[in-house]
């Protein structure tokens, strides 16, 4: 019997998908066409009652600078002067500008299904992007800083929308590495009779 290479590729991509951080990103730009391809993968996520609750704001080029400035400003405004750390301010800014693209991950609550189902659907959409990006050699990670909750006005969100975090992306040259997890056998209960 011939080995199913498509299935093996999918399993490999799941097993080796890792968080890759902006410090590892190269200067290579992720094209708009590639980003659209990845976002189309998100759009194929499962969704109860077809609410399709995922929304994304894509920051590229000068948009990255605008986002970096906003996040740095939020950090500066959220701490007392004596607790302000310049290095944290700088890292907040640099993480964004070291990326080729950053997606603001937004859930659009429909009111048709429980909120947890909308969150689960958005998470599935992000996982689809993550797997597709990894398959294309694009590193990424989902960050959920407290500052994300303060981006509603900046992102022009509606009352029924919420920013769930930021998805940083960039080409990289890190070696593949398997996940470190406890065995699945410790997480399964079998009932067969």
Which residue segments constitute the domains of the chain, with CATH numbers given?
20-173 (3.40.109.10)
- Please tell me the pTM assigned to this model: 0.93
Radius of gyration of the chain (CA): 19
User: What contacts 150, CB < 8 A, 6 or more positions away?
Assistant: 74, 78
pLDDT at 2: 52
* Block residue for tokens 């048709």: 112
Of the candidate ranges 16-20, 38-42, 117-121, the one whose mean pLDDT is the lowest: 16-20
The string of DSSP letters for 102-159 reads: EEEEEEE--SSS-HHHHHHHHHHHHHHHHHHHHHTTEEEEEE--GGGGG-TTTTT--T
- Cα(103)–Cα(67) distance, rounded to whole angstroms? 10
In this model, does residue 38 exceed pLDDT 60? yes
pLDDT at 3: 60
pLDDT digits (tens, 9 = 90+) for 93-140: 999 999 999 999 999 999 999 999 999 999 999 999 999 999 999 999
């Amino acid at each position: 019997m011939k080995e199913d290479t498509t299935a093996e590729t999918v399993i490999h991509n799941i097993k080796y998908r890792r968080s890759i951080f902006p410090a590892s990103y190269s200067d290579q730009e992720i094209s708009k066409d590639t980003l659209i391809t990845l976002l189309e993968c998100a759009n194929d996520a499962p969704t109860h009652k077809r609410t399709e609750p995922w929304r994304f704001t894509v920051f590229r080029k000068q948009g990255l600078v605008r986002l970096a400035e906003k996040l740095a400003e939020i950090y500066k405004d959220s701490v007392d002067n004596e607790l302000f750390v310049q290095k944290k301010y700088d890292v907040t800014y640099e993480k964004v500008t070291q990326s080729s693209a950053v997606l603001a991950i937004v859930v659009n609550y429909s009111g048709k299904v429980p909120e947890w189902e909308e969150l689960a659907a958005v998470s599935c959409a992000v996982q689809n992007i993550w797997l597709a990006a990894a398959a294309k050699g694009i590193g990424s990670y989902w960050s959920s800083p407290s500052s994300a909750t303060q981006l509603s006005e900046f992102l022009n969100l509606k009352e029924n929308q919420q920013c769930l975090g930021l998805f940083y992306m960039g080409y990289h040259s890190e070696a593949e590495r398997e996940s470190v997890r406890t065995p699945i056998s410790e997480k399964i209960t079998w009932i067969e009779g």
